[in-house]
Structure 1
């Protein structure tokens, strides 16, 4: 008797073009989440707007289908994080997943008072120059910095301008921690913080630099992203919630492209003549805004992204991306 031929898993119906905001679980890479969403959405055309480290949780914006073309604009948005910085221990990765580089003595940790902490936080707030963490994805001579660092090579990254518009201390706790297997617990200071940062800012590097400024060393022990641009935890769903919804409704629900655009761009309402012109890739009257705007049809469809420019002495809005055909 021959064994039955195994059946391929049933492919889910393809989800509508749009965004899905995921509350990423700890231990998952952003690529892991993309893989899960590809199965739930019934398509390989899934991308994300900004990587979250495996240890981090929180808002991860994903695009499905045509909406992946909008993600590049979400990547550049500012972001909110809740984090815990541990003073007294420095690590190779500036977070809890790295190897211990140094441990401050009890006197150094106990000598950190609130005025010194507030002064160090103030120095790291505003427009600053930040050296990215050595295990970042920045390329050095064509190779990712994290690959070089994990291979034991020395990585020197240049400081670059970033903006930390909020760096708020929520709580300060004197605790003890085990930093080596079988070793004694050592005194450390855990600081809960809330930050708002520009794209390209490393919260791990803020923890590192805060510890360096206070002479204790420091690293990140917890990180939760609570907002990316116009998307926050209130609109995020866990992977389990997404799977239950897709199972119940037969297809994964997405945030429609027009709604996603309204949360990302200023909006320009079009008339039907403008819709037809943009469908052919033609330029239209200027929007009167310095940034890219979302052009929405009278029926509520995202037609294009527009950018004002000058052509032959005239101010016009050119389509930088056309999403709806004529």
Structure 2
């Protein structure tokens, strides 16, 4: 019988998220593997994978907040907004002061409008932006609303005309840290790009729960679906009668647990479904009882 649950991977640098999914399909011996939001190849850290029935959780988990540790180099711009791209411009950052840096960071904190990097997986007229950019086409991407909950400077290192800024960023889903680096450099008049990125948390799942692919090859560790849902969403325990309703896709009276996904559990503790509350009714988003 196929195991279902989440696998929290500490993604290595140089791997695409699709590479990790492919490796996990072989390790878990199933094609039913997906991820809850990509990481760029250069980046490392928490990548949440769903195995089996848990692939149906991923779209809901992808909407949770994320935490990153990043290094931004001021004084150099690239065409990808990170260190994997080609240098497009240099301008000395030597005159950037501490207060100016703090002001630039503050301006990028809170609800902001952000233009994604040209080299990104966003689709433009049905085609991935990065494919168009690599053909040399100018890609026009619309600004999107994102929220940077916290943007904290941890260390500043000056080396001639460049400044390396270590920072911690807590942000909403859909925020590009590469774009933060680009926009910080632009606001300071010197350009900037990302040189290192490590994701330390996705929703409730952090590096303490993450395992390297080598370790998972030795011992597969799958977080059961019930535990995964209880960690990420409000929990609702129901009676046998209500459990039967939910198992057949029926609706329940709302319990006032909020608009987002709510995990519904049977009297024996088994995960039944995810529901959402609309007015006086809780309707199923996904039912997991086979």
- Aligned match for 1:223, one of 164, 172, 197: 197
**1:154 equivalenced with 2:112 (yes/no):** no
Match of 1:113 in 2: 97
Mapped contact 2:80–2:117 kept (Cα < 8 A): yes
1:173 is paired with a residue whose SS is strand
2:253 is paired with a residue whose SS is coil
1:97-147 deviations in Å (ceiling 9; x for gaps)? 000001113xxx110110000000000000111111101111112111111
Alpha-carbon distance in structure 2 between the residues aligned to 1:222 and 1:317: 43
**1:270 equivalenced with 2:242 (yes/no):** no
**1:196 equivalenced with 2:207 (yes/no):** no
Change (3 A) 1:90 1:130: same
Match of 1:324 in 2: 289
- Aligned match for 1:255, one of 213, 223, 228: 223
User: 1:25: Cα distance to partner?
Assistant: 0.4
Mapped contact 1:15–1:254 kept (Cα < 8 A): no
Alpha-carbon distance in structure 1 between the residues aligned to 2:104 and 2:94: 16
Question: Which contiguous aligned blocks of 4+ residues in structure 1 show a shift greater than 3 angstroms?
Answer: none
1:136 is paired with a residue whose SS is coil
User: 1:301: Cα distance to partner?
Assistant: 1.1
Deviates more, 1:231-240 or 1:135-144: 135-144
- Aligned match for 1:284, one of 252, 257, 260: 252
- Aligned match for 1:81, one of 62, 68, 90: 68
User: 1:19: Cα distance to partner?
Assistant: 0.3
Mapped contact 1:15–1:253 kept (Cα < 8 A): no
Mapped contact 1:85–1:221 kept (Cα < 8 A): yes
TM-score by length of structure 2 reads: 0.97
Alpha-carbon distance in structure 1 between the residues aligned to 2:52 and 2:4: 5
Structure 2 stretches lacking a partner, 5+ long: none
1:209 is paired with a residue whose SS is helix
Alpha-carbon distance in structure 1 between the residues aligned to 2:141 and 2:269: 46
Structure 1 stretches lacking a partner, 5+ long: 1-13, 177-186, 246-251
2:120 is paired with a residue whose SS is coil
Alpha-carbon distance in structure 2 between the residues aligned to 1:203 and 1:324: 38
**1:51 equivalenced with 2:38 (yes/no):** yes
Greater Rg over alpha carbons, structure: 1
Alpha-carbon distance in structure 1 between the residues aligned to 2:2 and 2:186: 48
Aligned length: 289
